[in-house]
Amino acid sequence: MAGGLPALTRLPGGTFTLALALGARRQLIREWNGNPWHRWRLSRPRPDGLAATPRDPRPIDLENGRRILTGRFQFGGVTLDTGVRGDPWDRPSPSKRFAQTLHGLDWMGDLLATGQAGAAEGLRLALDWSRVFGRWNGFSWDPELLERRVFNLACAAHPICALASDAETAQIALDLARQARCLLGELDPPVHAAERAVSVALAGAALAGEAGEQLMDRGLVRLEKALPLTVLPDGGHASRCPAAALELLFDLQTLDDALVQRGVAGPDEMMRAMDRLAGAVRFFTLADGGLPALQGGEALERKYVAAARASEDEQGRLPASRNGYHRLESKSLQVVADAAPPAQGPWSVTACAQPLAIEVLAHKKRMITACAWSPIAAAPQGLRLADGASTLSIADASCGDPLRGFLAHALGPRLARAYEAVEARRHEGEGGLWLELSHDGWAKAFRLRHERRLFLDVGADELRGEDRLTPLTDAAAAAGARRFAPFFLRFHIHPDVRASLARDGRSVLLRAEGEETGWWLRNDAQEVAVETSVYFQDGQPRRAHQLVLRGHARLDAGARVRWKLAAAEAWPPPH
């Protein structure tokens, strides 16, 4: 214990003191939430039935709904079989993520898509949840679970109550009102403020009478305050996670639909945020229909991303950069580079210390990517570091670390001591696109600056790169004698791409499934190896590979690795 305290006190911004304060406040709120007087207050006033029927534009999974009808709940790679009309609430869940999905009702839309039988089963399951957990429970009433359950129950209330008795409808409406009011009383960190305000306002729109009006008004007031902090002027999410921008857009589209049904005009700030987020999602949508798997987000499926853009009009040329990301495109290649520091403070709970990471698509297929770590991934926090993305790292050091232990429990797994200075210069010419990047993440430990230069030759349709470690001006004095540090330049390969090391021991052929030709990644590194890696999809790991270029940098002289990605000729050649 004594050995750990100095490290805690060195954390920026009084992190340890803040964790103590927030931890104590959170415990007081939990005690208050379980108080009978508080539970009584949550029930007043009672709603007068249901009003709007919010429509969530997220695509449904009909097969998942059919499985649930048979009593087979399958979430997060694990399965719970309850049998037909079984009770999933009265038995242990096979994993924490499974329990979170189950209690968040994220599956309710899939179940309702099966028709009348699904609506009847949804009603039964919602009433059974109320019987077991409806008063209050430390896990199931956790703010993050509450946020999603209120949203999903608001969307499902009308369909599941179509077959309900008056008493059952009143119970569902009361459960929705109580949970939305409880959400209003929770700690409101900026990272969740907009999403929680949407859930509260959506519940209000779905409920009739004074109860609904109060919730809708309070939710919209909070939403107006939260959106300017959450949605940046260029439409990017404050967390810098592309998937977070998409999810918030889905939520706002759902709320907008409910407000239209109620004849209520959405706040101006909400409409501006929707326009900005739509522009950001358009920018982030890559040639394969997915998103960049960077800064705590997965690529997601094409149909999922496309659902947010279903009503989008064709627009003009995309901007060159947005939310700290740059895009480079030629006839066959598409490159996305992370050219900004990770989010800081409470926004950094999903941030990744992966400076200057890139993703590359060829012929609309993802070739070079990252491990795609996300909060739902069954993966260690270490994948948030530089080794988990296609960038350069030095030795076994990191340029930012997620909080752990007590601090993570109190504040969330924020990223601490992360790099803050990233420079990006872009040049566009008739023959190609230049992107010059650098960051200070290795300056404190090694007195070295990582510089990455990318040149997309539009005419030759090839990508050339150079990663350089440059000593700072006083590096020679700081280093003393000629000391060396090992460095690793990684290119994570998508699971659908095969990587084959050539006979020269340096070049690597990348060939996507179904492609007759591939792409050569050539380099002048000291050592080249193809090693195992992992790629996360829907939170589940897929086996993948990574190309690792190794070398040693002199602290007083630095080092350089040049590489090029170019199309390979077809074999056998055409006659």
State the DSSP string of 397-431: --S-EE--HHHHHHH-S-EES----EEEEEEE-SS
For 181-239, give the DSSP string: HHHHTS---HHHHHHHHHHHHHHHHHB-HHHHHHHHHHHHHHHHHHHHHHB-TTS-BTT
% of the chain surpassing 70 pLDDT: 92
Task: Give pLDDT, residue 310.
Answer: 83
Mean of the per-residue pLDDT values for the chain?
A: 91
Give domain status of residue 196, yes or no: no
Give domain status of residue 301, yes or no: no
Task: Give pLDDT, residue 41.
Answer: 83
Rounded CA gap, 408 and 311, in Å? 40
For the ranges 93-107, 308-322, 442-456, 516-530, the lowest mean pLDDT is seen at 308-322
Task: Give pLDDT, residue 9.
Answer: 34
Higher pLDDT, 37 or 85: 85
As a dihedral over the C-alpha atoms of residue 509, residue 513, residue 517, residue 523, rounded to 10 degrees, the angle is -20
In this predicted model, what pLDDT tens digit does every residue of 232-276 receive, in sequence order?
Answer: 999 999 999 999 999 999 999 999 999 999 999 999 999 999 999
Task: Give pLDDT, residue 8.
Answer: 34
Per-residue b/e over 531-542, b at no fewer than 16 CB within 10 Å? eebbbbbebebe
Higher pLDDT, 140 or 575: 140
pLDDT class of 138 with cuts at 50, 70, 90: confident
The label of the residue with tokens 């589940």 reads: 540
Give domain status of residue 517, yes or no: yes
Task: Give pLDDT, residue 572.
Answer: 44
Give domain status of residue 70, yes or no: yes
Helix (H/G/I), strand (E/B), else coil: 285: coil
Task: Give pLDDT, residue 17.
Answer: 80
Give domain status of residue 454, yes or no: yes
The top-scoring range by mean pLDDT among 9-13, 430-434, 482-486 is 430-434
The domain boundary, picked from 169, 189, 209, lies at 189
Give domain status of residue 466, yes or no: yes
**Residue 475 pLDDT more than 60?**
no
The domain boundary, picked from 155, 170, 189, lies at 189
Residues 296-324: what's their mean pLDDT?
89
Q: How many domains does the chain have?
A: 2
How many CB atoms lie under 10 A from the CB of residue 226? 21
Helix (H/G/I), strand (E/B), else coil: 463: strand
Task: Give pLDDT, residue 14.
Answer: 66
Task: Write the Ramachandran bin of 324: left for phi over 0, alpha for psi from -120 to 50, otherwise beta.
Answer: left
Rounded to a whole number of angstroms, the CA Rg of the chain reads 26
Element (H, E) at 361: strand 358-362
Lookup: tokens for 84: 């037909």
Per-residue b/e over 32-62, b at no fewer than 16 CB within 10 Å? ebeeeebeeebeeeebebbbbbbebebbbee
Residues 83-112: what's their mean pLDDT?
96
Residues 479-496: what's their mean pLDDT?
87
* CATH, residue 392: 2.70.98.70
In the chain the first and final C-alpha atoms are separated, in Å, by: 73
Residues 521-536: what's their mean pLDDT?
97
For the ranges 11-15, 46-50, 82-86, 199-203, the lowest mean pLDDT is seen at 11-15
The label of the residue with tokens 């589209």 reads: 253
Task: Give pLDDT, residue 323.
Answer: 97
**Residue 277 pLDDT more than 80?**
yes
CA distances (Å), origin 59, targets 55, 79, 109, 187, 539 = 11, 22, 9, 31, 18
Domain ranges, residue 518: 346-567
The domain boundary, picked from 160, 189, 218, lies at 189
In this predicted model, what pLDDT tens digit does every residue of 503-514 receive, in sequence order?
Answer: 999 999 999 998
Rounded CA gap, 333 and 566, in Å? 10
In this predicted model, what pLDDT tens digit does every residue of 355-382 receive, in sequence order?
Answer: 999 999 999 999 999 999 999 988 899 9
